[in-house]
Each structure stands twice: as structure tokens, then as C-alpha cells.
Amino acid sequence: MSNKLRSNFEEGSTRWAVRRAQWIAMGIAESDFAKPKIAVINSSSGLSVCYQHLDEFSKLTQDAIREAGGLPFEINTIAPSDFVTSAGKKARYLMPTRDLMVNDIEVMMEGAVLDGMILLSSCDKTTPAHLMAAARLNIPALVIPCGYQLGGNCHGKQVDIEEVYKGVGTLLMGKMNVADMEEWTRCAIKGPGVCAGMATANSMHCLAEALGMALSGTTPIRAAGDKLREVVRQAGQQIISLVEKDIRPRDILTIKAFENAIRVAISIGCSVNTVRHLSAIAVEAGLDIDVVAIFEQEAAQLSQITQIRPNGPDRIEDLDRAGGTRAVLFQLRHLLNETVMTVNGQLLSTLLKEEIVIDDKIIRPTDKPFRPEPGLTIIRGNLAPSGAIVKLSGIGTGNRIFEGPARVFNDEDLAMMALSEGRINDGDIVILRMMGPVGGPGTVFACSFMAALSGAGKGATVAVVTDGELSGLNKGITIGQVMPEAACGGPLAIVEEGDLIRIDLHARKIDLQINPDLYAQRMEQWQPPVRTLENNWLKIYAENVMPIEKGAVLGKRGG
């Protein structure tokens, strides 16, 4: 195999000579030089509990690669955290970190010419970035989802990061005091890993397995536990096998694999953000597919077979114990493309023949769903001609038609102020706009307002329509990722205070209820706001980010 490795440079060449000198100085044995050279992509950071355990698991992964006959190299990247990197510039840096990480990995992998990589995935932006990088570089790779954290108990109440997040609204409305919130923050997170619940991080962990890019039976998984240690040992062996057999990400990330992942996302009520991330991974994989349209098509025939928080009472550890993503795939198997390849080196059909114990009180068969509607769906209308995303699983089973006056905000802080001052009323439809990838630039958090709204007890009576960033923890009447975004001339830009908006979730429609001639006039007259951007990363991002329909990847605008 060694003669075929792209990392083995021609003897006597400059690249061969200078690298030998470097590695000898580093104490690497010369007998290791011809082995498969495997990167361990580690986004460890002292800033966030999501990454607290990764250095330990990076070392274990490197040991596993050595035992399997490879030569490991740790590569560190940036480490975005949705609850930490969101602090500055109203979270504008957060979404762009995903694509910065993809390019970070490309530079190190292609610059050094390594043979394969294991990607230690943790927080929300990390897993999609890792899958995007794998798809773009198309060298043998596999993802290790590095697990979820647990919540705690606070005076008899189960408290996790979702409760803290929603509690801000309760605090704003004077229904809770700061001392109680302080106590919650002491109880909410017990150990390392990503947010408990079916938020974006756990959603993308599950979808990494559903796509075939994580080892079967590895999601969701408790962070820093013995099971994760065993997964690391398996991954060390498997990455060498992938290199030997030359199984590459684009052999796995096919259209059929994306269809499978979308069916899983819809059926378990994944985060709304999975739509943009799957779109981005498909773009990087060179696939000519419309992920939004596939979501729309598949949602028409799927039901919700789990109810993991924030979609219901069950917890992410319940999904883990019940059989996890592998059990979900088994319950959906009659709807899936089972001929797809996986990083196990086997077809999905082979993996689903292996014995599996499923708790169908947590993961139901498709003929006995928790709800006879999809967890995620796409709606369209004159306010979202290219689509918008609704997490039906986070709304409840009440009224599916919502009509009310628009309350328009171009700044989330102003919306939060209006909420705290009692100026957001039942029946209002709050518009949070100019917050998309171009408008931010970099998506602005709209999810803090939605969480505050739920905490204030208005999540079921006030709707939110936004082109900004939502959290997988959000629930309530939320219409997210409105496309095109307002800054690109999408109709959200022409909504005025008091305009009547109608949301019909039965018909999957969202419309601005104004005269068609007035609608056309406003669209024709609209001009993008004049702004001066600082000469920084956000300016580079704004000038190069593609439409959100394309996953907001970097490339030629509008391409």
C-alpha cells in the first residue's frame, strides 16, 4: 500500500528531504515514514465545555491510529461555540466560522499532503464543517461525533442548557429572579459535550451517521464515556482500512445518502439548521441537488417517530439508550436507499441486518408515530418564494393557521426590548430581518428572542418569521431561514409595520396579505441599505457568501 500513498514523496526530491529533516528532529522513527499519514482534526478549546474533552480523545485517537499501522498527526482548528462565539457582534462571527474551518482544514491537509483524516466533531458548526471539508477534499475520512452533555437537578427540577436559555424570557418578564437563574446555571451542565436535546449539534451528529460518514451505532453518544473510547479504537482501525480500500467521502455522500439523511432529519425533528448544513455539504460534494426541495417532497409522506427535547418529553440520553440513529434507520428501512456505502466499509443494508435492540417507546415504527406529521417541513408563499423552514415538532398540536399584524425589527435587541416592555402582544407576527448571511453579514442570532418569547409564555401565541440564525433548541411558531433573505431582495425586506401576514401550516403557505399591485411596487422600489463594512473577516464573508439556498457556502455570489 505504501507505494500508492500520495504522502510518500519521491526519494531525493526537495519535499522528501526537508520533511525527513523535520520529522527526524521531531523524534518520529524513520520506520514510520512510509506509513499512511492520518490527520486527527481536533477543534479543542478552553473557551467552551463542548470541547473540554477533545484533547484527551485526540490522544486516544492518535494511539488507535498507531496501533492500526498508521502515522497520526494532530491538526488543531478554530473552535466555534454557539453559546460562546455568539457573544461578539450579535453572533455575526458564528456562521462564518463554519466555512473558515473548512478552509482551515483544506490548507493543512492539502498543504501537507496527508492520506486521510479522522474528524473529532463536537459543537453546532463543527460537524457540518467537517463533513463539508471531507466532501471537498475527497480523501478517506470519517467523523467521530464526540458526544452530548447531561443536565442536572436543581431543587427537584431537571435543568439543562435549554431551560437556562428559555429562562431569560422568564427573567425579562419578572417571573423569575437573578438568584434563581444563578442557581440554574450551577446545575445546567454536568460534564463535557454538546447541548442536551435535539439541537443542532446532536442533530448533525445523528445526520453524520445517517449520511454514512460516522461509524454505525455511534450517535448520539455520551461525551467522555467508555462507549466513546471504544468508538475511537474502532475509528483508528477503520481509517486505515478506508485508505487501503480507497473508499472516499464522495463514494458515500451520494444523492441517495442525502435522501436518507433528510428522511431521518424529518422523522426525528432535527434542528432547522440542518437544512442549510446539508445543502452546504451537498455543494462541497459537487452534487447538483436541491436539498430544500427534497425536504419539501419527503415531508409530505413522513411522520414524527421520536419526541426528543425540545420536541417532547424524552431526553437525548433516552434516544441513545433506545438504539440511537441506527435504530431510527432500522425503523425507516423500508423508506431508505439501503445500497449506499458507509465508512464501515459496508452497505447500509448489511449494517441493518445486524442485531439491534430498539425501545419503541422512544423510537416508534413508522406505522405508529408520535404525530402524523413531519418533524420538519418547508413552506412557501409570496413571503418566502424559495422556501422557509418550520419545525412542526416544536410547535405542538394546536392551531395550524396563524394570522396577525407584522411587528418589524431589523435588530434583535429592539425586539427583546419590546418584549420586556410588554409591546409584543398575543397574535403578533414578529419579523426579524436583515440577519441572514449577507445581511448580517454573517447570520445574526434571532434564536435568543425566540427563547425569551417561550420563557415569557408567548411561544404559542406570537409567531416569529426570520432570515436570521435559529437554535435547534427553539420551539414555538417559528418560520426560519426565509429564502431569499431580506438583504438579497427577498420579500421579507418589503414588509411594513402592521401589514397582515397569514401562516397556514396545513397548506404549507406563508403570505403577505397586501394588494398584488402594492406588493409588486414595493419589490420594484426596494433598494439594499447602504452600509460600510470594516476591513475584516466578516467583510470577506459578505462579499463571497452564496445564497442560503445553496447552504451559504463561500463562492461566487448568486452562483
Does pLDDT of 262 surpass 90? yes
Is 22 in the same domain as 43? no
In-domain check, residue 540? no
Q: Identify the three-state secondary structure at position 386.
A: strand
Give pLDDT, residue 559: 38
Does pLDDT of 296 surpass 60? yes
Give pLDDT, residue 474: 67
Does pLDDT of 493 surpass 90? yes
Does pLDDT of 175 surpass 90? no
How sure is the predictor about 227, in pLDDT bands with cuts at 50, 70 and 90? very high
Report the C-alpha gap between 406 and 118 in whole angstroms: 47
Is 432 in the same domain as 524? yes
Is 387 in the same domain as 246? no
- Structural domain for 305, as ranges: 35-150+164-351
In-domain check, residue 363? no
In-domain check, residue 365? no
Q: Domain end: 310, 336, 351, which one?
A: 351
The answer to whether the beta carbons of residues 487 and 500 sit under 8 Å apart is no
Give pLDDT, residue 558: 42
Give pLDDT, residue 172: 75
Pick from 186, 378, 356, 192: nearest CA to 274: 378
The answer to whether the beta carbons of residues 419 and 449 sit under 8 Å apart is yes
Per residue in 417-452, pLDDT tens? 999 899 999 999 999 999 999 999 998 888 778 878
Q: Domain end: 334, 351, 368, which one?
A: 351
Is 58 in the same domain as 200? yes
Question: What is the mean pLDDT of the segment spanning 489-497?
Answer: 97
| Better-scored residue on pLDDT, 355 or 7 | 7
Does pLDDT of 473 surpass 70? no
Specify which residues 120 forms β-bridges with: 42, 144
Is 104 in the same domain as 219? yes
Is 30 in the same domain as 47? no
Give pLDDT, residue 556: 64
Is 71 in the same domain as 30? no
Q: What is the CATH number of the domain that holds 428?
A: 3.50.30.80
In-domain check, residue 359? no
What is the pLDDT of the chain when averaged over all its residues?
93
Give pLDDT, residue 519: 98
Which range has the worst mean pLDDT, 203-212, 359-368, 400-409, 528-537?
528-537
In-domain check, residue 48? yes
In-domain check, residue 73? yes
Is 96 in the same domain as 14? no
Residues forming the active site: 471
Distance from the Cα of residue 155 to its chain's centroid: 33
The answer to whether the beta carbons of residues 185 and 474 sit under 8 Å apart is no
Q: Domain end: 297, 331, 351, which one?
A: 351
Question: What is the mean pLDDT of the segment spanning 475-493?
Answer: 92
34, burial (CB in 10 Å: exposed 0-12, middle 13-18, buried 19+): middle
Per residue in 94-123, pLDDT tens? 999 999 999 999 999 999 999 999 999 999
The stretches of 173-315 forming alpha helices (DSSP H) are 178-187, 200-211, 226-245, 249-252, 255-268, 273-284, 291-299
Is 308 in the same domain as 334? yes
Per residue in 129-173, pLDDT tens? 999 999 999 999 999 999 999 999 998 888 988 888 778 778 877
| Better-scored residue on pLDDT, 393 or 217 | 217
Does pLDDT of 20 surpass 80? yes
Question: What is the mean pLDDT of the segment spanning 206-230?
Answer: 97
Q: What is the CATH number of the domain that holds 101?
A: 3.40.50.2300
Number of domains in the chain: 3
In-domain check, residue 276? yes
Is 207 in the same domain as 235? yes
Report the C-alpha gap between 237 and 284 in whole angstroms: 27
Task: Please state whether beta strands 37-42 and 71-76 pair in parallel, antiparallel, or not at all (unpaired).
Answer: parallel
The answer to whether the beta carbons of residues 123 and 81 sit under 8 Å apart is yes
Residue that has been written with the C-alpha cell 447541548 in this structure = 195
Is 21 in the same domain as 61? no
Per residue in 41-80, pLDDT tens? 999 999 999 999 999 999 999 999 999 999 999 999 999 9
Is 187 in the same domain as 253? yes
Phi then psi dihedrals of residue 405, to 5 deg: -80, 145
The stretches of 26-68 forming alpha helices (DSSP H) are 54-67
Give pLDDT, residue 200: 93
In-domain check, residue 439? yes
Per residue in 377-411, pLDDT tens? 999 999 999 999 998 888 877 778 999 999 999 98
